[in-house]
Amino acid sequence: MAALPKRIIKETERLNKEAPDGITAEPHEDNLRYFDVTIKGPGGSPFEGGTFKLELFLPEDYPMAPPKVRFLTKIYHPNIDRLGRICLDILKDKWSPALQIRTVLLSIQALLSSPNPDDPLATDVAKHYKENEKEAIAQSQEWTRKYAVAG
Amino acid sequence: MSSEGSDVDFYYDDDDEMIVDDDEGSAISEDDMDGIDTYRDDYAAQPSSSKRKIYEVEFDTLPQEAVEGLIRKDVEYISSILGVETDAASLLLRHMNWNKEKLIERYMEDSAAQSAKAGIAPVEPPPAQIPPSSSRSSSSRSVKTSSAPKRVTRRTTAESALKAKALLTPEPSVEPESFLCPICCDDSQPKTLSLVCDHKFCADCWVHHLKNKIRVEGDYSIKCMASGCTLIATDSFVTSTLAEEPESVERYKELIVRSFVAANKALKFCPYPSCTYTVSCPNAATKSALTQMVPTVHCATESHKFCFGCPIESDHRPVICGVAKMWLKKCEDDSETANWIKSNTKECSKCQSTIEKNGGCNHMTCRKCKYEFCWVCMGPWSEHGTTWYSCNRFDEASGIEARDAQARSRASLERYLHYYNRWANHEQSAKLSADMYAKTEKKMEEMQITSNLSWIEVQFAKKAADELFKCRMTLKWTYAMAYYLQKDNEKEIFEANQSDLEQAVESLTELLESPIEAEDIPVLRQKMTDKTVYVQKRSEIMLEDTAKGFLENRWRWNVNVDGFEPATVLAD
């Protein structure tokens, strides 16, 4: 495997030393471009109390191309589909090489705080959120309890 | 010519009246036949050397450099009118999708907002880490437009991005030698570059970024690498940064040309693979123009023939794009399968299940609903009393409706098949005649060797074959047109022309296929040349009359066609 670019080494170091609140990201030993990620559900959100597992992969072109990120834990969220794919602008067209793993994960955490049903990926969830927000939030909380709380 | 013009008006009026009163029909048809003769005379009076035929469209082909020239002209025009640099003018134009008038209007209203949107000046005041002494960013101070993200998620994204930027962007006081590029985290890069936003990155990363955007994403409006920065790299920045990547610069230019061509309705890129020519055809730029003509054009490479109005087929004259498209869709659609079902099956009059009778007697029992009926009259079997198997109840009211519907559908299918078979036959024949010509050519070559004929003397066969191919294509599309033409006198003339051309084409085909003997060649050549000229003339007449018909709005359709009056008589 080609040598790991300096940029990735630095980012990994910083993620280790000063991880953002509620976020962990650890590279695999055999593939330093592949990260196991956990994000804690932000306080005040329907996902509070849950710990969500994600996978993150830095493609060959990184940082010219965005990292690939996917939820592994089931989550009831209008911008995250059943396969865990995330609808987030900075992972697509708004990606900038100046962004980092850290900023991406912070943005995903922010997305948990403020679901955006107007730009949905999981259309059924979005519809639920638009038509009966209270019920949808309850559903999100239930899924969090069911799938994202250890034990 | 003027007398002919009045003639035309005369027909047109008659045509309108005819819809009201059918009795005048016969009288008009004679007049119309005279009309044909007029056209024929016209043709005889004007040999084919006259400049442009009525069924041809005026167009111009431009190489890529010429389009670049057009772009430059627009950019310079905007630059002088708005008093901005050419780089800025280019970005403004791209932002407005090359619409000069709209740009000038909007820019006059709010130049700062437009500059920000076009990516010339930063939207937000420059980040704190940029030294106030940076004179280049001063212009952006005043720009505080609110194109800030509207949605909550997006804002959080931008915020976190800003935080990251603050962490990553180097202190301005750092010496250039120890500059740490925030993208590659390399501090050994000697050269840094930035747009007017002053977000510095090493030259290597810029090259990668630009190349990636241009080559992989096909993007030509490339934003600054700093997240959230909306500044777009100017043409001069891109070309100077990619000085050692000429291929990427070429691609960049091509992308801009393509966007310019796409935005301009009077321009079209030649669709042939790796052809870089653009065709300009202002006459066919509007939708309504396409109801009056078939803009068959070609780029500087003459064989690159295409239709300016649609991607259906390179030359579908005489029928206009809309009708040609409708016809192809009909041919491709499963609608004909449905037609077959209609013609070959019947529906149970109780549960509407489709039933195909493949044997047995007329006493049918629907497998689904167990309804018993007579296959012949479709009436209930119970009404047949004891006269089993010999249905004499033809006029029974309960069966009439079912039978009528079936007869209509059968007739419509037959009508369609009539046109379709001829359409397909011409296509097939065109292909065959090309093969045929290949054989003839071989024979001709042999003859050239064995006899004393020169190369030029055997070219008549090629000319005939080329003409045949062209005419077969025209004929093919005349059947598509005829299918949709409403049955009236105009259609009769159309079909008369069609049949003349068809006969001419068939006899020329026969000549081309006749066996060639060396001693007969002079005679054959004479015959074939004559016939070719005749075919050419018939084809001219066909195309000319149809084109004139479109211009004069003479054609009436049996279906609703966009841009025409609704059909008065709808086809079944």
> Does B162 map to a domain?
yes
> Is the separation of the CB atoms in A86 and A70 below 8 Å?
yes
> Is the separation of the CB atoms in B18 and B488 below 8 Å?
yes
On the 0-12 / 13-18 / 19+ scale of CB atoms within 10 A, B406 is middle
> Does B24 map to a domain?
no
Q: How far apart are CA B431 and CA B409, in angstroms?
A: 33
Nearest CA distance, B202 vs chain A (angstrom): 12
Return the structure tokens found at A15. 């993620």
> Does B350 map to a domain?
no
Residues 214-243 of B with CB under 8 A from A: 216, 223, 225-229
The amino acid that residue B97 corresponds to is N
For residue A89, name the pLDDT band (cuts at 50, 70, 90): confident
| Domain membership of residue B84 as a residue range | 64-241
The amino acid that residue A15 corresponds to is L
> Is the separation of the CB atoms in B270 and B299 below 8 Å?
yes
Q: A89 and B154: CB-CB below 8 Å?
A: yes
Q: How far apart are CA B547 and CA A28, in angstroms?
A: 71
Contacts of residue B209 in chain A, CB cutoff 8 Å? 64, 97
> Does B197 map to a domain?
yes
For residue A73, name the pLDDT band (cuts at 50, 70, 90): very high
B226: left (phi > 0), else alpha (psi -120 to 50), else beta? beta
Mean pLDDT computed over every residue of chain A? 91
Q: A110 and B156: CB-CB below 8 Å?
A: yes
Q: B227 and A99: CB-CB below 8 Å?
A: yes
A107 lies within 8 A of chain B by CB: yes
Among B129, B154, B186, the strongest candidate for a mutation testing the A interface, having the largest count of A CBs within 10 A, is B154
> Is the separation of the CB atoms in B339 and B328 below 8 Å?
no
User: Annotated catalytic, A124?
Assistant: no
Return the structure tokens found at B170. 């180097």
Q: B151 and A119: CB-CB below 8 Å?
A: yes
How many domains does chain B fold into? 1
B161 lies within 8 A of chain A by CB: yes
Please report the beta strands in B273-380, taking only residues with DSSP state E, as ranges in sequence order.
Answer: 278-280, 296-298, 305-307, 346-347, 354-355, 363-365, 372-374
Q: B184 and A119: CB-CB below 8 Å?
A: no
Q: A96 and B161: CB-CB below 8 Å?
A: yes
> Is the separation of the CB atoms in B74 and B263 below 8 Å?
no
A101 lies within 8 A of chain B by CB: no
> Does B199 map to a domain?
yes
Residue B161 is predicted with a pLDDT of 41
Tell which wins on pLDDT, A132 or B344.
A132
> Does B102 map to a domain?
yes
DSSP string covering B98-113: T-HHHHHHHHHH-HHH
Nearest to B133 by CA among B227, B198, B68: B198
Return the structure tokens found at B36. 């044909």
pTM exceeds cut of 0.95: no
Cβ-based neighbour number of residue A23 at 10 Å: 18
At residue A54, φ and ψ (nearest 5 deg) are -135, 165
A7 lies within 8 A of chain B by CB: yes
What is the DSSP pairing of strand B346-347 with strand B354-355? antiparallel
Nearest to A58 by CA among A112, A17, A99: A99
Q: A98 and B182: CB-CB below 8 Å?
A: yes
Please report the beta strands in B287-413, taking only residues with DSSP state E, as ranges in sequence order.
Answer: 296-298, 305-307, 346-347, 354-355, 363-365, 372-374
Mean pLDDT by 10 residues, chain B (572 residues): 40 40 39 38 38 83 92 94 92 93 92 90 56 40 39 42 39 55 82 88 92 90 89 93 93 92 91 89 87 89 88 87 88 68 74 74 78 78 62 58 70 82 87 80 76 74 86 92 91 92 90 78 86 93 91 88 74 49
> Does B528 map to a domain?
no
B69 Cβ contact list (under 8 Å, min separation 6):
none
DSSP string covering chain A: -PPPPHHHHHHHHHHHHSPPTTEEEEE-SS-TTEEEEEEEPPTTSTTTT-EEEEEEE--TTTTSSPPEEEE-S---BTTB-TT-BB--GGGTTT--TT--HHHHHHHHHHHHHS--TTS-SSHHHHHHHHH-HHHHHHHHHHHHHHHSS--
Q: How far apart are CA A28 and CA A36, in angstroms?
A: 7
Distances (CA, A) of B132 to B123, B136, B172, B218: 17, 10, 11, 36
Q: A98 and B160: CB-CB below 8 Å?
A: no
Residue B211 is predicted with a pLDDT of 93
At residue B161, φ and ψ (nearest 5 deg) are -65, -40
A151 Cβ contact list (under 8 Å, min separation 6):
none
Q: B183 and A7: CB-CB below 8 Å?
A: yes
A94 lies within 8 A of chain B by CB: yes
Q: How far apart are CA B296 and CA B315, in angstroms?
A: 6
Nearest to B202 by CA among A143, A7, A45, A2: A7
Active-site hit among A87, A91, A125, A148: A87
The amino acid that residue B234 corresponds to is T
Residue B317 is predicted with a pLDDT of 86
Handedness of CA B429, B432, B434, B437 (dihedral sign): negative
Nearest CA distance, B149 vs chain A (angstrom): 11
Residue B402 is predicted with a pLDDT of 66
Residue A121 is predicted with a pLDDT of 85
Strands in B278-280's sheet, in edge-to-edge order, are B60-62, B278-280, B267-269
- Going from the N-terminus, what domains does chain A have, and what CATH number goes with each? 6-147 (3.10.110.10)
A88 lies within 8 A of chain B by CB: yes
For residue A56, name the pLDDT band (cuts at 50, 70, 90): very high
Q: Is B60 helix (H, G, I), strand (E, B) or coil?
A: strand
> Does B337 map to a domain?
no
B152 lies within 8 A of chain A by CB: yes
A22 lies within 8 A of chain B by CB: no
> Is the separation of the CB atoms in B252 and B62 below 8 Å?
no
- Is the ipTM higher than 0.90? The answer is no
Active site residues of B: 361
Question: Nearest CB to A103: which of B164, B199, B205?
Answer: B164
At residue B488, φ and ψ (nearest 5 deg) are -155, -170
Residue B336 is predicted with a pLDDT of 65
